[in-house]
Homo-oligomer: A and B are copies of this chain.
Amino acid sequence: MKKLIGIDLGGTTAKFAILTKDGEVQQKWSIPTNVQDEGKNIVPDIIESINHRLDLYGLTSENFLGIGMGSPGSVDINDGTVIGAYNLNWRTLQPVKEQIEAGTNIPFFIDNDANVAALGERWKGAGEGSGNVVFITLGTGVGGGIIAEGNLVHGVGAAGEIGHITVDPEGYACNCGSVGCLETVASATGIVRVARDLSEEYAGDSKLKWLIDDGQEVTAKTVFDQVKDGDPLADMVVERFYSYLGLACSNIANVLNPDSIVIGGGVSAAGETLINGVRKYFDKYAFPPIKSVTKLKLAELGNDAGVIGAASLVKENVE
């Protein structure tokens, strides 16, 4: 049985896995992403690493059905190119598919990183193989991937921009040029922004406020840790986060009525507490027949969602 290779390309590392066609991970490794010189070594490094590992395992291109990759930036899935991936220093068009196919002699498929993570969670994680799953990743930014009626939704190119759903028309300015985007309040940086703002107005006793005023490093994790310790300001901050994310999830569900909305990314480390908090506001806003069937779930694959989903791109395209 031919195997799959999945690559999860990020600004710090590129993660690799060799999988069976059934999605069982057989080998995993990673290499640092070299973003110097406009990231011109990134693709050659990937090719070299694959060929090296294949030698090591006594495998050849004949043993593989294909290579799938998830990439940041704006991905043209048909041409197999990437542009505007700023954390890779890829500002100009990168012919990734052409280079990797030439360098490995294995068919290559690519999609953006959030879409690929959605495919991974659908295949082997919280999505349980459902044809209707929405994936939201809460990290430095907020990304998303939409699977509807069995297909990854690209729309006219940029579907899944869940981080830019407007949750507060009077809210913070977003990097994208709009205001009140989900990303401004529900990403790791957004949660800290809300914490700093509420802290300024907060007059009561709060460890979180003390940490902020003392100039200590405060992250989303700090906020969630303080909630566990009963901090009243931290509680206000996460309630606001829950309300915005619950509103966004209910609006997505009212449009798509997915089987589940799967929440991943670093912020989701807060766990079931987060799901319960979001669920409260989701239930407040969602259309009743929809809220009774659409589930909210934590992502299950963690860092592996990318490589597993990337490998599944091969299955989607070859079979």
Query: Chain A: residues with CB nearer than 8 A to chain B?
Result: 74, 132, 144, 146, 148-162, 164-166, 169, 176-181, 243, 247, 250-252, 254-259, 284-290, 293-294
Contacts and interface: CB of A to CB of B under 8 A. Distances in A.
Nearest to A255: B252
Contacts of A288: 176-178
Contacts of A259: 155-156
Given A247-B169, A256-B255, A151 B154 contact: no
A286 B294 CA distance: 25
Given A164-B286, A178-B288, 12 more contacts: A132-B156, A146-B148, A148-B153, A148-B159, A149-B149, A153-B256, A160-B255, A161-B254, A161-B255, A166-B251, A166-B254, A166-B285
A161 B290 CA distance: 9
A197 to B, nearest CB: 19
Nearest to A290: B158
Nearest to A149: B151
29 contacts: A74-B289, A132-B156, A146-B256, A148-B148, A148-B149, A148-B151, A148-B155, A149-B152, A155-B256, A155-B258, A156-B257, A156-B294, A157-B289, A158-B257, A159-B255, A159-B257, A160-B255, A161-B290, A162-B255, A164-B287, A164-B290, A166-B247, A169-B285, A176-B288, A178-B285, A178-B287, A181-B287, A255-B255, A255-B256
Nearest to A182: B254
Contacts of A250: 166
Given A148-B149, A285-B178, A287-B178, A251 B155 contact: no
B153 A254 contact: no
Contacts of A258: 155-156
A181 B247 CA distance: 11
A176 B289 CA distance: 9
A159 B294 CA distance: 11
